[in-house]
A and B are shown apart, each in its own frame.
Chain A
Amino acid sequence: MKMRKRILSVLLTTAMLGTCVMGCSSGSDDSGEKSESGKRFEGVTLRFAPNWGTDPDHEIGRKMLKEFCDETGLNIELEEIAGDEMKNKISVDAAADNLPDVWQYWPGCVCKDLADAGLLADCSEYLEKSEVIAKDHFSDTVLAPCTFDGELLVLPRMGASGVLMINTEIFKKYELEAPKTWDDLMEVSKVLRENGVTPLNVGSKLGNPSHFFYNELVCQFEEGVQDVNNLLDSSKTTFKTDAMEYAANKIEEMVKAGCFADDVLGSTGDWAPSCAYYDEGYAAMCYTFSWQFASFSDETLEKSEIIKIPQIAETDRADNHMQGTTNDCWCISKKAWEDTEKQEAITALVDFLMWDYTKETAQGGYIITVDSELDKLIDYEALDSKLMSDVLQWRTDNNIEADPMIWQSLPNLAIQTDYCNALDELWAGTITGAEFIEKCETSVKDNL
């Protein structure tokens, strides 16, 4: 008994001493280091998961982030994920209660489940705290997909712009004109096919880049635009509309006519492969988005010409519209934000991402900023990416408006996944347009 008491007291003393020593040492550490290096976030570690692969703006990001960390003393655990794999990672992390502190994601339905589960920090708190970024930098349209039940839960990162280009060399060789209407497009495709050239580079791997292309068709009708806007409201979500059905049947027709590559999943599925396919001269036309602009070689761009989306005969809209909205966003984990030790550092990191990093990459012509203040600082005459300047110029000249995006407007991630899978099948020619609509509709029913 005595022995036990003694042990206990020894243990207690040790514990107390330990706490004292630790307290002292951590205190002295802090002050010591601060006075020594003057770095703001010495000892703070943040987990940061950007959607980075091999694009030039990702390279810039890595370099700038490193400088930022050196300067502030912040320790970043970098979890780089490329492409749509990010959705899987974040879904698993959310279920495992292991979300990164800050990550790059897509607004709208991709964030919906996280927002519902209350895992995202209220970003208006960040905007209040930030001295660099303010809410009035962004227009309402930009903020719309970032807002859930009236609360701003994610921060818009960049805008996007689509482009349709033709390879003039191939067109000249077969004495073809750039297609203005959908019927022209089919005609052109037929000739190209006969000569063994793939008409259009759009493939489909988990809906990339096909979902944008399908979307272009849906939005050739006023009604279609309305349909897309309706998707967000889960009581109105449906794929059984005239515009959606029309577009699905049209795609079926195109697949049958051989407008897309034979290998829609292997060699033209996903962004980079589909662009490489055009770049290597396998496809005569290229439909892609701003994040791919830097991947084309100069020779290819030299012989490329930007054209408008061909118009279907039945369209009831003018031809000055195209896909391109707030494309992705930054998320802050609620748990991390509520951690007072981290809050300062997160604010600084997000400031850096939304201002310094965005500015650098926007000036490079790799992304399109949605921040109106930043926009004023960008010298659009001097972008590094020539294609980006051309596209932006072309958009202004033709007064192009941005259409709403189906992919982003669906009510949740499960439906989005099914939608993308169904697109893959539609592109691969395994299901008809009607079956495509049926599949999406079933998913809507099952997942709402």
Chain B
Amino acid sequence: MRVAKKKRWIPFVVFVVPALLVYTYFIIYSIGNTGYYSLTQWNAISEPKYVGMKYYMDFLKDKDFHMVLRNSLLNVVISLIVQVPAGLIGGYLLYRTRRFYKLYRFLIFIPVVLSASAVALLFTLIFHAEFGPVNALLDWAGLSHLTHSWLSDVKVVFYVVMIPMTYQYIGLYVIIQLSGMQSISEDVIESATIDGASSFRIFWNVVVPMQKGVTMMCSVLIISGCFKAFEHSYIMTWGGPGYSSSFLGVYMYMETFVKGNYGKGSAIAMIILVGTLACTMAVQRIFREEE
């Protein structure tokens, strides 16, 4: 729709300027601030002192930082591998189900609406070494040698912290995929069925390709979610022991708001930002190339 040229600024001012101002000042300008703070030593009370790239240089040889970064990247990779297919499969199962459809949908989506802190606390009980169901289940199945002190064994604690995150968010991706599938026209599925294609074939050859856009969307959501991951790890283990179950988000919070190191915290925030953008672009490229 085209409007007379001289009046073009009116809708712009009315419709866009409020959001644009708020958005620019609080997001774009803030990122600039963060970038600047990351070059200073600052405790938020006194004046910032310029230290240049010191914190970034320190990251290169800081073992804790390496561990936290590795945790975050691993989290992204594992979440993508687990949650994307789970969302697709779960969505498809629901899509093809008529009986109890609503009940299943209701139950699968429940964790999404629970507050993150409730879920995290719940899982501290589930993984309790003495009475938690996980160890009990392993004992019962005769796998006692697999029981662990889940929350303090540094070899596993990081994965343990990821479980409530998966538990909580997987339902969201199932429903998003389901919603995408429901807009696939019935004819496509029907004609495939008449051609004698099995359920699995339909899923693989028809649904998955058509869901590409939705799947990419889910991947982007998962990536940004993983990089900023904070509450589950923070509530369950406080990121510990040490930083072994910390993600970048937890590390940033600890440095900034606990230790009062706002400069270093800003530097970590910049790493989170760069990581998110880089991974998102990489994923988008992968999806484009496939086309």
Q: Bound state CA distance, A414 and B254, in angstroms?
A: 10
Tell whether, in the assembled complex, residue B129 and residue A95 are in contact, meaning their CB atoms are under 8 Å apart. Answer: no
Cβ-based interface call for A170 (8 A): no
Cβ-based interface call for B34 (8 A): no
From A42-50, A259-267, A361-369, A383-391, the one touching the partner chain is A259-267
Q: Bound state CA distance, A357 and B194, in angstroms?
A: 81
Most buried by B among A263, A266, A413: A266
**Which residue of chain B is the closest to A421 with respect to CB atoms?**
B242
Tell whether, in the assembled complex, residue B241 and residue A266 are in contact, meaning their CB atoms are under 8 Å apart. Answer: no
Which listed residue (B152, B238, B259) contacts A264, Cβ 8 A? B152
Cβ-based interface call for B127 (8 A): yes
Q: Which residues of A contact B240 (CB under 8 A)?
A: 205-206, 265, 421, 424-425, 428
Q: With A88-B258, A263-B129, A417-B259 given, is the CB distance from A428 to B238 under 8 Å?
A: no
Tell whether, in the assembled complex, residue A88 and residue B257 are in contact, meaning their CB atoms are under 8 Å apart. Answer: yes
Tell whether, in the assembled complex, residue A269 and residue B152 are in contact, meaning their CB atoms are under 8 Å apart. Answer: yes
Shortest Cβ distance from A333 into chain B, in angstroms?
A: 14
Which listed residue (B43, B45, B241, B258) contacts A425, Cβ 8 A? B241
Additional A-B contact list (19), CB under 8 Å, known A266-B124, A280-B130, A428-B154: A94-B45, A262-B129, A262-B152, A263-B130, A263-B150, A263-B153, A264-B152, A265-B149, A265-B241, A418-B259, A421-B243, A424-B240, A425-B240, A427-B241, A428-B241, A428-B242, A430-B241, A431-B242, A446-B58
Cβ-based interface call for B151 (8 A): yes
| Interface range on chain A (Cβ under 8 Å from partner) | 35 or more
9 residue pairs bridging A and B, Cβ less than 8 Å apart: A205-B240, A263-B149, A264-B152, A265-B152, A265-B237, A277-B130, A413-B260, A425-B242, A428-B153
Which residues of B approach A to under 8 Å, CB–CB?
43-46, 58, 124, 127-130, 149-154, 157, 237-238, 240-244, 254, 257-262
Most buried by A among B58, B241, B261: B241
**Which residue of chain B is the closest to A282 with respect to CB atoms?**
B130
Q: Which residues of A contact B124 (CB under 8 A)?
A: 266
**Which residue of chain A is the closest to B160 with respect to CB atoms?**
A266
Cβ-based interface call for A113 (8 A): yes
Tell whether, in the assembled complex, residue B151 and residue A266 are in contact, meaning their CB atoms are under 8 Å apart. Answer: yes
Q: Which residues of B contact A425 (CB under 8 A)?
A: 154, 240-242, 244
Q: Bound state CA distance, A92 and B152, in angstroms?
A: 28
